Amino acid sequence: MSTAEALIEKFKKIKTLPHIVAKLVQLVNDEESTLQDFEEVIRLDPALVARLLTLVNSSYFGLTRKVDSISRAVALLGMKNLHNIAVTDAIQGLLRSISGTTEFSPQHLWLHSAASSICCKMIAERIFALNGDDAYLCGILHDIGLIVEIEADQETFLKLIERLVADGPSLIELEQELFNTDHCQIGYILAKEWRIPDPIAEAIRDHHQSNGAINPHSPTGILQMSEYIIHQMGFSAIKDGLTTNLAPSLATHIQTNVEEYKVLAEDLPEELEKTKKMYGS
């Protein structure tokens, strides 16, 4: 068993994603799934039902008539969007259950993950005219490995944060030294266990790699550009003041389309505010 797998097994004994999320993942990946299948699963979680009805009746959708049935909400939101809402709920729940310290704020990581997911979705849809649901999933899950490290070995994680400074070893370098693995590899293994599509799992694995020619419209490219943009806006994952690198192919793409990315960055805070209202700050 690898170090990453051992940390995951320890994490599972402490916390795990709710069973309903795993079930929704199976339904999303099953081409024969129906809206009725989704509705039957959702009914098992009253909190998720309330969240869905709140969202679909919010100003975000701007519907003229109130939606009060799960089946109608599922039909309006779509299967992948519904799955992403459940995953987001679960990630926030995991981070809320972690006690903060003077060195680490779970809220900081939550805002980073939320900003990344929204920015990924915006890049996919606005820049590349792609469906943004998969890109959103990349963003919300890309740092799940950090949550595993925190829960499985908080003492080592806090030592890592103490040593994580500007001009010092990178996060990945410190993880490899202290954990003998890193959050990218941990996240990749979890994504594969949860049957997340390969391109998304690979983007989670590769989101700190800045070498090579990365295709801008690939899940990895979109996630890395999202990370770069939100870092410039102050949404760092665990510590402020650190530098971030961008693969040359991605930097060139942003420079070529700089006006579009400026508008996207200007709109991001408003989109994040909608999410904060939905899930709480």
For residue range 73-108, list pLDDT tens digits in order. Answer: 888 878 788 788 888 888 888 888 888 787 888 999
Q: Can you give the pLDDT at residue 167? A: 87
The mean predicted confidence, pLDDT, of the chain is 88
Q: Above pLDDT 70, what percent of the chain?
A: 95
List phi, psi (to 5°) of 14: -100, -50
Which pLDDT score, from 0 to 100, does residue 224 have?
96
pTM of the model: 0.87
pLDDT at residue 279 in the model: 65
What angle is formed at CA 171 by the lines to CA 166 and CA 177, rounded to 5 degrees?
A: 115
Is the separation of the CB atoms in 148 and 7 below 8 Å?
yes
* pLDDT band of 33, cuts 50, 70, 90: confident
Give residue 132's pLDDT: 93
Distance between CA 225 and CA 219 in Å, rounded?
Answer: 10
Q: What is the pLDDT of residue 86?
A: 81
Handedness of CA 57, 139, 114, 155 (dihedral sign): positive
What are the residue ranges spanned by the domains of the chain?
3-16+100-279
Residue 80 CB contacts under 8 Å (≥ 6 apart), including other chains: 28, 131, 133, 134, 137
Buried b or exposed e, range 63-89, using 16+ CB within 10 angstroms: eeeebeebebbbbebebbbbbbbbbbb
Biggest CA-to-CA distance, the chain? 56
The yes or no reply on domain 3-16+100-279 and CATH 1.10.3210.10 is yes
pLDDT over 90 for what percent of the chain? 51
Q: What share of the chain is helix, strand, coil (3-state, %, to 5)?
A: 70, 0, 30
pLDDT of residue 16 exceeding 80: no
The pLDDT value given to residue 60: 66
Angle at 247 between CA 146 and CA 176, to 5 degrees: 35
Instruction: Tell me the per-residue pLDDT of 39-71, one tens digit each, with 9 for 90 and over.
Output: 888 888 887 788 778 877 877 666 777 888 888
Q: Could you read off the pLDDT of 131-180 as tens digits, one per residue?
A: 999 999 999 999 999 999 999 999 999 999 999 998 899 999 999 999 99
DSSP letters spanning 183-225: HHHHHHHHHHHTT--HHHHHHHHHTT---S---TTSHHHHHHH
Q: How many CB atoms lie within 10 A of CB 153?
A: 18
Is pLDDT of 281 > 60?
no
Using pLDDT thresholds of 50, 70 and 90, give the confidence band for residue 124: very high
Q: Tell me which of 280 and 115 has the higher pLDDT.
A: 115
Q: What is the DSSP string of 138-167?
A: HHHHTTHHHHHHHHH-HHHHHHHHHH--TT
